[in-house]
Chains A and B, each alone.
Chain A
Amino acid sequence: MGVQTEIHASAYAGAFTDPVFQSQSVFRALMDAMARPGTIVPLGAAAMPPAPLGAGAGAIALTLCDDGTPVWLTNALVQSSVPAWLSFHTSAPLTNLKPEARFVFIEAGGLVPGFDQFALGTQEYPDRSATLVLELASLHGGPEFVAAGPGIKSETIIAPLGLPEIFLTLWAENRALFPRGVDLILVAGTDVLCLPRTTKLRRREV
């Protein structure tokens, strides 16, 4: 009984204190980050969702999710009070069917499913694809990749820490589907780095 009460209490707190302006500044950061892949952009505001969802990912959920966007969560998130928190603050329906989700949240260290299990859009409507919000330990200090594509002047180096080993393969497969494919928002704390489906990645040769 005591535990139950605790879970519910954490579901009601931790949203934006000033939703109109905080969601605007989070969105602008996301828009800049999506338009300039590889750039690390601080979100203008943070949320305090229940663990294990982080402050940045929580802020993104509050900014983009609502009753029109089914959300898929990892097992660890489903078993926490995150579903109650999301539901209370955004009304986003939870789905356990990966292809139905518009947004996918994966906590730091969580298992990353293959991207092609999620909605990839269709050739006619490539926009009907999932956006994956992937929390990482850090956006620095990981293996270095060279990124190129729209939004990047020539090339840029990214080094997110904590991506799965096979990430480069998963991403290349996703890239090959263009114009279909998922889009990625990498989050560490309240910093984001976006990888839209157009970004090409290769391992940096040292």
Chain B
Amino acid sequence: MTDLATYNFAYLDEQTKRMIRRAILKAISIPGYQVPFASREMPMPYGWGTGGVQVTAAILGPDDVLKVIDQGADDTTNAVSIRAFFQKVANVAVTTKTREATIIQTRHRIPEETLTAGQTLVYQVPIPEPLRFLEPRETETRKMHALEEYGLMHVKLYEDIARNGHIATTYAYPVKVEGRYVMDPSPTPKFDNPKMHMSEALQLFGAGREKRIYAVPPYTEVVSLDFEDHPFEIQHFDKPCALCGAEQVYLDEVILDDKGGRMFVCSDTDHCEDRRAHGHAGHLLAQQEAAE
């Protein structure tokens, strides 16, 4: 007997999977629209990716290869525990290699490597409603989406400019999907927004506490909101990754000591390891090798 015997495949019961699957199909048909669904209690607290986990559980099959990342890393708590969860309840193959994965569940990053047609990216979403911090009432935000009334969002971005001289929103940067729905891309850095545009991979978003599922089909327009005189810009980094020397990637700041030492390294751990394995070395790695 395996551990599987005590659970249905992928933890959820079949009725729940059907309900989630129907929501996913409607979400794909209405790109960027948040489909309400009967989110279940999962064996982890809200805020730990219960929405993403339910979406993954509903689509996952025995032939899938699953990758789970948390802020780009395969080896942080949230990623490790969700990966272990699906190994236990679905006996599914797992990987840390972006290229090998068929389903990638993510908390707040899109892998640096371009995703392909055979892959599905599942986002864990805390607050799916992009207008929520501007208008707390669900009845009102629903009406705003219905009427395509998104002026408030532009006011918010304008206020950024009025206060800071530039659009200061750096993550969960609002996008417009296929020219219709304004959507929250989940708290990914805005650096990743351009990767959502015309992606070959299907992108699914699950918000467990807020009970919403939404989707961006492949080859779909995803445009970050901006102004003609303040066009959308992604973050830029002064230095390449200290370990692999990669440029044009998203970097995390790591404190090295209590004397102000710090380094900037790839947030995508798989991308960084892959580059190092292919002989790329950043300045810190080169220094370390020289010392040895």
Residues of A contacting B117 in the complex (Cβ-Cβ under 8 angstroms)? 36
Residue of B nearest to A181 (CB): B29
Complex CA gap A69/B15 in Å reads: 12
Contact B21 A64 (CB under 8 A): yes
Interface string of A24-48 (1 = CB under 8 A from B): 1101101110111000000000000
Asked whether A141 is an interface residue with its Cβ less than 8 Å from the other chain, the reply is: no
Complex CA gap A126/B217 in Å reads: 17
Complex CA gap A150/B29 in Å reads: 9
Complex CA gap A150/B28 in Å reads: 9
Complex CA gap A55/B147 in Å reads: 41
Considering the complex, which residues of chain B in the window 1-15 have a beta carbon less than 8 Å from any beta carbon of chain A? Answer: 8-9, 14-15
Contact B28 A35 (CB under 8 A): yes
Asked whether B239 is an interface residue with its Cβ less than 8 Å from the other chain, the reply is: no
Q: Which of A1-9, A15-23, A165-173 lies at the interface? A: A15-23
Q: Which of A25, A31, A179 is in CB contact (< 8 Å) with B24?
A: A31
Interface string of B173-200 (1 = CB under 8 A from A): 0000010110000000000000000000
Asked whether B283 is an interface residue with its Cβ less than 8 Å from the other chain, the reply is: no
Minimum CB–CB distance for A96 against chain B, Å: 22
Please count how many residues in chain A sit with their CB below 8 Å of the partner chain's CB atoms: 39
Interface string of B134-155 (1 = CB under 8 A from A): 0000000011011100000000
Q: Which of A63, A102, A123 is in CB contact (< 8 Å) with B147?
A: A123
Residues of A contacting B18 in the complex (Cβ-Cβ under 8 angstroms)? 23, 63-66
Interface string of A158-188 (1 = CB under 8 A from B): 0000000000000000000011000100000
Complex CA gap A97/B202 in Å reads: 35
Please count how many residues in chain B sit with their CB below 8 Å of the partner chain's CB atoms: 42
Minimum CB–CB distance for B44 against chain A, Å: 22
Q: Which of B19, B145, B181 is in CB contact (< 8 Å) with A68?
A: B19
Would you mind naming 30 contact pairs between A and B with Cβ atoms under 8 Å apart?
A23-B17, A24-B17, A24-B59, A25-B61, A30-B25, A31-B21, A31-B24, A31-B25, A31-B28, A64-B25, A65-B18, A66-B18, A66-B19, A69-B22, A124-B146, A125-B36, A127-B27, A127-B29, A127-B35, A151-B219, A152-B219, A179-B30, A183-B26, A196-B28, A196-B30, A196-B217, A198-B29, A198-B31, A198-B178, A198-B217
- Supply 20 further A-B pairs (C-beta < 8 A) apart from A63-B21, A64-B21, A102-B22: A20-B8, A20-B14, A24-B59, A24-B61, A27-B59, A31-B59, A32-B202, A36-B117, A36-B218, A66-B15, A68-B19, A124-B142, A127-B27, A127-B33, A131-B25, A150-B217, A150-B219, A151-B217, A179-B181, A196-B30
